[in-house]
Amino acid sequence: MFRRKKSGSLKPYSLADLHAKQSGRKRVRVWSFFLIGVLVLTGGTYLIFLSSFLRVQTFTFSDPLLFSREALLEKLQVSVTPDTFLSSVLGDDNILLWNERSVNDLSVEFSSIASVEVHRNFLKRAVTFTIRERERKLIWCHISRVEDGAETPRCFWIDGVGLIFEEAPIPRGGLVRVVYDYSSRALGLGDYVLDEDTVPNLFFIFDLFERFDFVVTNLVLDNLGLREVTGNVTAGPFLYFSLDTNPSFALPVIDSLIASGEWRKISYLDMRVENKAYYSYR
C-alpha cells in the first residue's frame, strides 16, 4: 500500500511583500544608473578639461610663411576661438574649439592672405591651416606731388577686388598692368583703390588693350571724383574711359578703325559715354 505524503502548508505571500521586492530592485537600478552617470561625468570632465587627450599637439601651415608664424597663429586663435567663457575654461589649444571654417577677416598685417581654411584631425590631434594668397592683378601707383613739382610714386599690388595687399616696385616697361593715380588721397595696405562696382570695368579696359595688342605707356587716373581714366597708346590715339562703363561696346569701332587704316590717323577715342564712341582726326 502506498501512503500519501502530507503536503506542507503554503506560506502566505502578500501584495505588500511583492511591492517591497519590486521597490528594492528599482532602487538597485536607480543607484546603478546614478553611479554609472557619475563615472561617465567624472571621466568626461577629466577627459575634456584636465587630460591632454583633446589638446592640439601640432599646428601646421600648408605653405612656407613670409611673416611670423606665431603672430599669424595668434590672430587665427582670436578669429576661430574667441575670448569666451568656454575658451577660458577649455583653453585655446583644445581641439573642440578649432571648428573647421574659412577665415577671411585677418588684419592689415596679413593683407596678402585672402583666406585661411582650418582643418582638424581628432586622431592625430592636429590642426592644419591651408593658406590662399591674394593674386597680383595689377600695380597701382599713387603719385604724390611735392612743393617743387617733383613726383613721388608709391606703388602697390592690388587683387581682383581692388584691395591693396602688398608693396610693389616702381614698374619699368610695359609687361605689367599699371595704373597711375594722381588723386589727392592717402592709400595704404588694406585700402580699396576703387568702389566695388567700378573694379570690373577697370579690368575690362586692360582686357581691351590685350585683345588688340596695344602697348599702353600709362593708364592715368587724374580725378577720382570724375571716375575717368586715360590711356596713352604707343603709335596710336589717346583713349578715354569711364570707370562706370564697360568699354566692350567699343570693340567693333576699334576693329573698324584698325581694318580701315584710320587708327593711326585719329588723335583720341572717347568711350566715356555708354554705347557711344567719339573720335577725332589729328
What confidence tens digit (pLDDT) does each residue in 205-216 have?
999 999 999 988
What does the alpha-carbon distance between residue 162 and residue 109 come to, in Å, rounded to a whole number?
17
What confidence tens digit (pLDDT) does each residue in 167-198 have?
999 988 767 899 999 998 989 999 999 999 99
Give the neighbor-by-neighbor strand order of the sheet with 126-133. Answer: 58-61, 126-133, 113-121, 102-103
How high is the pLDDT of residue 201?
97
Give the predicted TM-score (pTM) of the model: 0.75
Q: % helix / strand / coil in the chain, to the nearest 5?
A: 30, 30, 40
What does the alpha-carbon distance between residue 218 and residue 170 come to, in Å, rounded to a whole number?
13
CA distances from 26 to 34, 238, 259 (A): 12, 95, 99
What confidence tens digit (pLDDT) does each residue in 33-69 have?
766 766 566 555 555 555 566 788 888 888 777 777 8
* Cell numbers that stand for 14 in this block: 502578500
Question: What is the 8-class DSSP label of residue 173?
Answer: S
What does the alpha-carbon distance between residue 157 and residue 114 come to, in Å, rounded to a whole number?
13
What does the alpha-carbon distance between residue 51 and residue 44 come to, in Å, rounded to a whole number?
10
Q: What residue type is 110 in one-letter code?
A: F
CA distances from 150 to 153, 200, 219 (A): 10, 32, 19
Percent share of the chain, pLDDT over 70:
76
Comparison of pLDDT for 184 and 90, the residue scoring more: 184
List phi, psi (to 5°) of 129: -110, 125
Task: Give yes or no for a contact between 216 and 231, defined as CB atoms under 8 angstroms apart.
Answer: yes
How high is the pLDDT of residue 41?
64
* Angle at which helices 199-211 and 251-260 cross, to 10°: 20
Burial zone of 59 (CB within 10 Å; 0-12 exposed, 13-18 middle, 19+ buried): middle
Comparison of pLDDT for 122 and 93, the residue scoring more: 122
Judged against a pLDDT cut of 70, whether residue 70 lies above it is answered with yes
Comparison of pLDDT for 219 and 31, the residue scoring more: 219
Task: Count the neighbouring beta carbons within 10 Å of the beta carbon of residue 208.
Answer: 21
DSSP run (H or E) holding 37:
helix 15-45
* Cell numbers that stand for 141 in this block: 601707383
Strand partners, 85: none
What confidence tens digit (pLDDT) does each residue in 214-270 have?
988 889 999 999 999 999 988 889 999 999 999 999 999 999 999 999 999 999 999
How high is the pLDDT of residue 2?
47
* SS3 state at 270: strand
Question: What is the 8-class DSSP label of residue 4?
Answer: P
What does the alpha-carbon distance between residue 155 and residue 170 come to, in Å, rounded to a whole number?
6
